[in-house]
Amino acid sequence: MLLLAQHRPVLSAVAVAAGAYLTVLGVGLVLFFSAGAAAEAVNGVVVALRFVAFGLAGFSLIVAGVRRLRDRPRKRVRLPDWFSPATAIGLGAGMTAADLPNAFPYFIGIERLLNANVSGLTGVAVIAGYAAIYCLPCVVLVVIGSVAHDKVGGRLQRLVARFTTGVVKRSVPIAAGSMVAGVGVAAVPFL
């Protein structure tokens, strides 16, 4: 966001982080306060999420391995035309919601809070703290990027260019390693 936003990049980046924070906090609070009525469902959801998360991660590694079997150009990263500081909260919320199935430790933590019978206030504080820690790297980057924009912007631009220009070369060893890792990751829930 700091590099690609056309208007008010710092405000846009802060809004994305706020959207992420509100999503993590909101989902956690909904699960925490509604779990009394659905405690068994939360336990089942944690197990199901573990299978889904490891399965998707394993599948993604296998697909990445297959893709490394041929040369392919890297794609340029760009923000959608509708992106603005006003829509950045929604984008941050959407990206975070899409990432939440990988957050099975978060759901396990909520399950532990429920099993420990913590008070509502303590549960809210723990979940709010977790959401803040989840968003901390983004906030730190926004602060550093806004204070030292030229220095950090140049480094971020080189990092973005590294992953968005040129060609990804074919590599059989990397492909094989990625596919083996994918099978291993997908098998973790069965161990």
15 in a domain, yes or no? yes
4 in a domain, yes or no? no
147 in a domain, yes or no? yes
**Burial tier of 144 (Cβ tally within 10 Å: 0-12, 13-18, 19+):** middle
Convert the pLDDT of each residue in 83-104 to its tens digit.
Answer: 888 888 988 898 888 887 777 7
Domain that holds residue 136: 9-190
2 in a domain, yes or no? no
Please tell me the predicted confidence (pLDDT) of residue 68.
Answer: 92
Convert the pLDDT of each residue in 70-79 to its tens digit.
Answer: 998 888 777 7
Nearest to 144 by CA among 7, 15, 6, 10: 10
* Window from 14-18, 35-39, 135-139 with minimum mean pLDDT: 35-39
Convert the pLDDT of each residue in 42-78 to its tens digit.
Answer: 556 667 777 877 888 889 989 999 999 999 888 877 7
DSSP 119-163: -HHHHHHHHHHHHHHHHHHHHHHHHHHHHSHHHHHHHHHHHHHHH
Tell how strand 167-168 and strand 72-73 pair up.
Answer: antiparallel
Q: What's the N-to-C CA distance of the chain in angstroms?
A: 40
Number of domains in the chain: 1
125 in a domain, yes or no? yes
